[in-house]
Amino acid sequence: MAAETAARTAAAAPAVALSENAGAPSALRAALADAIADYAPEIISLSHDIHAHPEVGYREHHAVAAVADLLRAHGIQPRVGVYDMDTALRAEIGPGAPESAGSAGSASTAGTAGTADSAASAPAPTIAILAEYDALPGIGHACGHNVMCANSVGAFLALADLARRGQWAESAPPGRVVLQTTPAEECDTAKERLVRAGMLDGVDAAIQTHAYARDVADQVWLGVRRMRAVFTGVPAHAASQPFMGRNALD
């Protein structure tokens, strides 16, 4: 793995460091860092709580409740059980998000199964932060989904904090942020089910972090199955008996 990572790094284009003037304003980044520092104890506590209560796919009831409780504690009212998944949660902040009675002022509270989702009509750019929290059967959180969930929830809370204080006015363009939990990553294609149900409708980009032993820009994935298939056709006269043939596509 180390050798392959080194080879990819050598073949990659030289990295160009961004200047301090690139991207978000420095004041906004500093405010975001301060918000993350403030939320750090709760973020770490959420990770430890989910790790101590491992649940397999579609049974993440403790995890989704823990996330929902943390959001509510900060004035954000999430929807639980969205898109016909009992353990899927969704919350939104920023321009175009459904209004909320919470102090964040812009989290989603209405409906279930996406019936009140306003993503398709939201004019503001929208980014979705995904969060996994299922464990491996008989093993627990060996894949670090507890950390990944806490990362995503922490990022969402920090952005909500900036929005609450009105600091988004310094950045352009303003945007909407969606926190969407995605159950059953280990045992099923739940993300595909959620996408088909409308999870990413109106979303411009979806991101999440993955737990790892160190910071990497180019991951060498090992959990891949490689197969080689050999197709053998059956010839037939193309004019008189094409139905007798079989090509690789068939």
Per-residue confidence (pLDDT) for residue 107, from 0 to 100: 39
For tokens 């959180």, what's the residue?
Answer: 141
Q: Which amino acid is at 3?
A: A
CA-based nearest residue to 137, from 59, 64, 56, 50: 56
> pLDDT band for position 34 (50/70/90)?
very high
Per-residue confidence (pLDDT) for residue 244, from 0 to 100: 87
Q: Kindly report which listed range (44-53, 151-160, 237-246) carries the lowest average pLDDT score.
A: 237-246
Per-residue confidence (pLDDT) for residue 8, from 0 to 100: 74
Per-residue confidence (pLDDT) for residue 21, from 0 to 100: 72
Each residue of 61-71: pLDDT tens digit?
999 999 999 99
> Would the pTM of this model clear 0.85, i.e. be above it?
no
Strand ranges, E, within 26-156: 79-80, 89-93, 126-131
Span 107-132, average pLDDT: 60
Each residue of 2-12: pLDDT tens digit?
887 778 777 76
CA 37 centroid distance within chain: 21
> pLDDT band for position 109 (50/70/90)?
very low
Per-residue confidence (pLDDT) for residue 212, from 0 to 100: 79
Contact status, residue 118 vs residue 210, Cβ threshold 8 Å: no
Per-residue confidence (pLDDT) for residue 95, from 0 to 100: 78
Per-residue confidence (pLDDT) for residue 14, from 0 to 100: 61
For the beta sheet containing 79-80, the strands, ordered from the edge strand earlier in sequence to the opposite edge, are: 79-80, 89-93, 176-181, 126-131, 205-207
> pLDDT band for position 80 (50/70/90)?
very high
Q: What pairs with residue 136 in β-bridges?
A: 140
pLDDT more than 70, % of the chain: 80
Per-residue confidence (pLDDT) for residue 238, from 0 to 100: 84
Sign of CA dihedral 85, 225, 205, 196: negative
Per-residue confidence (pLDDT) for residue 11, from 0 to 100: 74
Contact status, residue 62 vs residue 55, Cβ threshold 8 Å: yes
Per-residue confidence (pLDDT) for residue 224, from 0 to 100: 67
Span 51-72, average pLDDT: 98
Per-residue confidence (pLDDT) for residue 223, from 0 to 100: 67
Span 76-80, average pLDDT: 97
Cis peptide before 173 (omega within 30 of 0): yes
> pLDDT band for position 120 (50/70/90)?
very low
Average pLDDT across the chain, whole number? 83
Q: Kindly report which listed range (7-21, 135-149, 161-175) carries the lowest average pLDDT score.
A: 7-21
Q: What secondary structure does DSSP assign to 182-217, as a single string? A: ---TTTS-HHHHHHHHTTTTT-SEEE-----SS--S
For tokens 């959620």, what's the residue?
Answer: 194
